[in-house]
Amino acid sequence: MKGQNRERRKDKSRDREVYAEIKAIPPLIVRADGRIFKRVLSDKFEKPYDERFAKGMAKAVEIFFLSSGFDPKLAYIFSDEISFFFEHVPFEGRIEKLDSVIAGFLASALSISLGFKEAIAFDARVIPVCKGEDVSEYLAQRQTEAWRNHINVYGYYGLREEGLSEKEAEKRLRGMKTGDVHEMLFRMGINLNETPKWQRRGILIAKQRYEREGYDPKAERKVTAIRYKIVQLWDLPLFGSEEGQDLINRLMGYAQ
C-alpha cells in the first residue's frame, strides 16, 4: 500500500513538468552565451580581446564536436557566444534537454580548455531555421553583430585609456556615433579595419570531409574512404558575400 502511494506521488510530480515535452523540429540552431563572463575574465585576460580566450572557446567547441554526443554541422563563435547548426538532435528535440545539456557541457569544456578554477555558466536557446538561405542569413546577422561588438569593445577600452571610469565610458559610448568611435580610435593609432579578422568576423568550427586512401585485403585492392576532421577557420570572409555563401554551403555539404 505504501509503495502504491509513493508511485502516485511520483506520477503527480511528473504531471507538474509541463514544459518537459516541448520539442523543436530540426534543422535548428542552438545559441549559447557566456553568463557574467566579465567577472571571471576581468583580471586574467588582455583587453579588449585576448587570443588565448578565443583559442579556449574554439577548443571547447572542438571538445563538443568530439565528445558531447551531439552532431553539429558547424559552429560560429564570436566573443563569448557560440551558435551551433544541427540537422539532427538527440532527446527527440526536447528543448529543455537541448538547452540544459549543451549549456552545461560547454561550461565544463571551457573550464577544461582554459583551466578555470571559478565556476562559469552558459545559457542557451533554440532557434528554428530551414536549410540553406536561413542558415546563411542567420550567420550573416551574427557576423554583423560581431562587427558591432568589435566597435563597441574597442571604443569602451579606448575611453578607459583616456581616463574615464567604467560608468563614464559606458555612458559616453552610448552617445557616440560609429564614425566618432572610429575617429577616436584612429587618433589613438587603432584602425578597426586592420585588427585581426577573427576579432572582426568571428571563428567558424566545422567538420571537413576528406578522402583517405587505404587497402582492402579481402578484395586485394586500393580503396578510398570518406573521413571527417574538425577544422578551425580564423580567416573568414563576410558571410553575406559570394565567397562566404560558398564556404557555408561547402561546409554544410550543399555545394554542387
pLDDT in tens, 98-147: 999 999 999 999 999 999 888 899 999 999 998 777 999 999 999 999 99
pLDDT in tens, 146-161: 999 999 999 999 999 9
- Put simply, whether the predicted model's pTM sits higher than 0.95 gets the answer no
Domains assigned to the chain: 19-132 (3.30.70.3000)
Residue 12 has a pLDDT of: 67
Of the two residues 9 and 233, the one the predictor is more confident about is 233
Grid coordinates representing 141?
Answer: 546577422
Measuring CA to CA, which residue among 254, 255, 233, 252 is closest to residue 72? 252
Q: Counting Cβ atoms within 10 Å, is residue 251 exposed (0-12), middle (13-18) or buried (19+)? A: buried
Measuring CA to CA, which residue among 244, 136, 138 is closest to residue 197? 244
* Cβ atoms < 10 Å from Cβ of 149: 17
